[in-house]
Amino acid sequence: MLDMFARLRWCDGGLTEPSEPRNFTPSERGACGCGDCPGAREWAPRSMIDVPAMTELPARFAAIVGARNTFSAPSDLRTYECDGLLGMRIRPEIVVLPGSTDEVAACVRLAREAGMPIVPRGAGTGLSGGALPVAGGIIIGTSRMTRILAIDLPNRRMRVQPGAINLDLSRALAPSGYYYAPDPSSQSVCTIGGNVAENSGGAHCLKYGFTVNHVVGARLVTSDGAIVDVGAWDGSADALGYDLMGVVVGSEGLLGIVTEIVVRIMRIPEATRTIFATFPSTDEAGAAVSAIISSGIVPAAIEMCDALAIEAIVAATGVDWPLDVGAALLMDVDGLAIEAEHTADAAIALMRDCGAIEIRAPRDAAERALMWKGRKSAFAAMGRISPNYHVQDGVIPRKDIAAVLREIAQLGRDAGLRIANVFHAGDGNLHPLVLYDAAKTGEEARAEAVAGEILRVCLRYGGSVTGEHGVGRDKACYLGEQFSADDLATMQLVRAAFDPLGIFNPDKLFPTPRLCGDVPGRYVAHPLEARDDVGRG
Ligand SMILES: Cc1cc2nc3c(=O)[nH]c(=O)nc-3n(C[C@H](O)[C@H](O)[C@H](O)COP(=O)(O)OP(=O)(O)OC[C@H]3O[C@@H](n4cnc5c(N)ncnc54)[C@H](O)[C@@H]3O)c2cc1C
């Protein structure tokens, strides 16, 4: 196995067997032999190291992070084979869990010396395969770096380690009347480091902005093992010069490993009014969303569920939502008490004008929490109505919600598959859940094909292939349909400025159509995988 990896090298298209081992320069094209790679990477260094050195690596990593935080046994590595994108699995060579920035830097230096690709990992809840391992590579996980380092109320800043769980920030702040605004539905388990890498959103990002609007500084370990601070690291003022913090947020773990983060914190609003409204179909619900936003109201959140999503949510969480409706909206408006009251009344009037069947307000905090639990548990709730599902993440103009949902329903009918929709309607950020049964031959492939076609519909309406889940491995092949070759080459230049050898997350984000047999569409096993020489699960 190790011998096999020593002979392998990477190009933009994945693993290839070189005709003869050699090192590449970053600018060398076609190093993989496909003759067409725009960014063939230098980093065949594995072909340059001797195999006995590989066998010593676990002990060398253990010397940095401790033996109990170093994993190389196949049974231990299985835990790290995939993230939330369960359909793709690759076993890493080694997993390490450092406890400090210095340990992360030392691990990066050793991995680089050994020619190992590095995949940063938070909680592994990502849905686009961003934390999917690279065969023969190392996972550097942040699950030991969970501390809240400082809370600075006068400057409304908080400094945390990357493995801190999103919700723990707000829990720590609550006694002071503050909170951390971005609230992905996975917030009880996902990490701030993962949020930074994915520029995560959440229901309440409509009014308050995504992660990028709340991270002001970060400490980063770059591919040469250097420790650099970007953004307003001292937490007190905006950084001068280029917005490097903006570059790092959303970079999907390709530019370095974030080891400390300074975030903005906000006062908990004086009042929040929650409204639950049902509609005959997604047409009326979509029209209500457009009417509310175009009237000038900016709700803190406005989320939509269609009939199938409501069925699953009711079965899983026990909310008493009606099952005989076509769609529901769950909305929060907040601010000063008088403002929230006035805005809620105006929004309710618009919902009625658009054909709302029933409008409810929760009786108390417990009922409000249950309503939001229903919404935030929606993905997991799909298990009640389908053995498997593929969650898609695309963006469209808000005004086109109804038309796009009709097209998505048609795609489902054509493929003989059900599609549930539960999404951030105010942002036009769709999450169609394509339901399938993996035990039925061909259904998984049909579901993946439908999920891909949904992205094409989003692009046709002027939208995007991702709103918040990232491109990762899953959607890399669609990025070329959204961006021109020049755009992608420019993005590669930015990446190369941080990581010239492409050590971090080498097979993520950038598309490789036409190259090395990697074409958009269903995954086709590499001959080496087919021979069982390298694993995918
Ligand atoms: C049920 C469910 C609901 C979800 N709801 C939402 C939602 O509402 N909004 C939303 O935006 N997302 C949502 N997600 C997706 C996911 O939770 C987010 O993308 C989250 O930010 C991932 O965090 P993580 O800690 O799990 O990161 P991981 O999955 O471990 O990693 C994600 C990416 O970040 C990189 N990374 C992780 N840590 C670091 C670091 N310290 N430095 C550099 N790179 C790093 C990884 O390499 C990978 O590319 C949901 C997922 C699930 C399963």
Q: Atom 13 (ligand 1): residue with closest C-alpha?
A: 184
Q: Is 318 exposed, middle or buried (0-12, 13-18, 19+ CB in 10 A)?
A: exposed
Token couple for 86: 């369960």
The rounded distance, in Å, linking the Cα atoms of 221 and 105 is: 6
Distance 7 CA to ligand 1 centre (A): 32
**Strand 257-264, strand 157-160: pairing:** antiparallel
Q: State both tokens at 359.
A: 């409008």
Distance in Å, CA 198 to ligand 1 centroid: 6
Q: What was the pLDDT predicted at 241?
A: 83
Give the ligand 1 atom nearest the CA of 379.
Answer: 1
Residues 6 or more apart whose Cβ sits within 8 Å of residue 122: 131, 141, 142, 143, 162, 163, 190, 191, 192, 193, 194, 197
Pocket test for ligand 1, best of 198, 213, 257, 304 (most atoms within 8 A of CB): 198
Q: Could you identify the atom of ligand 1 that is nearest to the CA of residue 255?
A: 43
Looking at domain 271-460, its CATH superfamily turns out to be: FAD-linked oxidases, C-terminal domain (3.40.462.10)
Q: Could you report the per-residue pLDDT of 256-275, keeping only the tens digit for each?
A: 999 999 999 999 999 999 99
CATH dotted code for 148-268? 3.30.465.10
C-alpha 126 – ligand 1 centre gap (Å) = 4
Query: Ligand 1 centre from 196 Cα, in Å?
Result: 8
All residue ranges of the chain with pLDDT < 50 are 1-49, 513-523, 536-537
pLDDT digits (tens, 9 = 90+) for 300-343: 999 999 999 999 999 999 899 999 999 999 999 999 999 999 99
The DSSP code for 47 is G
What residues does ligand 1 touch, defined as CB less than 6 Å away? 83-84, 119-127, 130-131, 142, 162, 184-186, 190-191, 193-195, 197-198, 200-202, 252-253, 257-258, 379-380, 468-469, 505
Q: Residue 17: its pLDDT value, please? A: 38
Q: 340: burial class by Cβ within 10 Å (0-12, 13-18, 19+)?
A: buried
Strand partners, 229: 219
Beta-strand ranges (E) seen in 326-365 are: 327-335, 358-360
User: What are the domain boundaries of the chain?
Assistant: 2-143+477-517, 148-268, 271-460
**Structure token pair of residue 491:** 């993005």
Using CA atoms, how far apart are residues 442 and 446, in angstroms rounded to an integer? 6
Which tokens sit at 372? 């939001």
Atom of ligand 1 nearest to the CA of 258: 42
Ligand 1 pocket test, candidate residues 82, 97, 127, 389, most atoms within 8 A of CB: 127
Handedness of CA 398, 399, 401, 404 (dihedral sign): negative
Ligand 1: centre distance to CA 85 (Å): 11
At residue 318's C-alpha, the angle toward residues 361 and 166, to 5°, is: 80
Rg (CA), the chain: 24
Residue nearest atom 19 of ligand 1, based on CA coordinates: 126
Mutate which of 88, 132, 144, 185 for ligand 1 pocket (most atoms within 8 A of beta carbon) = 185
- Asked if the domains at 2-143+477-517 and 148-268 fall in one CATH topology, the answer is no
| Measured distance CA(476)–CA(247) in Å, rounded | 19
C-beta separation of 227 from 221 below 8 A: yes
Task: Locate the ligand 1 atom nearest the alpha carbon of residue 252 and give its number.
Answer: 49
Q: To test the ligand 1 pocket, which listed residue (190, 473, 475, 508) has its Cβ within 8 A of the most ligand atoms? A: 190
Minimum CA distance residue for ligand 1 atom 44: 253
210 within 8 A of 166, measured Cβ to Cβ: no
- The CA 287 to ligand 1 mean position distance, Å, reads 31
pTM, rounded to two decimals: 0.87
Closest-CA residue to 185 (of 385, 322, 418, 381): 381
Kindly give the interhelix angle for 443-460 and 401-415, rounded to the nearest 10 degrees: 150
The backbone torsions φ and ψ at residue 228, rounded to the nearest 5 degrees and listed phi first, read -125, 150
Q: 346 CA distance to ligand 1 centroid (A)?
A: 36
The residue nearest atom 16 of ligand 1, judged by CA position, is 126
Q: Alpha-carbon dihedral of residues 163, 469, 255, 195, nearest 10 degrees?
A: -30
Whether 171 contacts 182, CB under 8 Å: no
Query: Hey, what are 326's tokens?
Result: 């076509």
Q: Does domain 2-143+477-517 have CATH number 3.30.43.10?
A: yes
Q: What is the DSSP letter of 322?
A: -
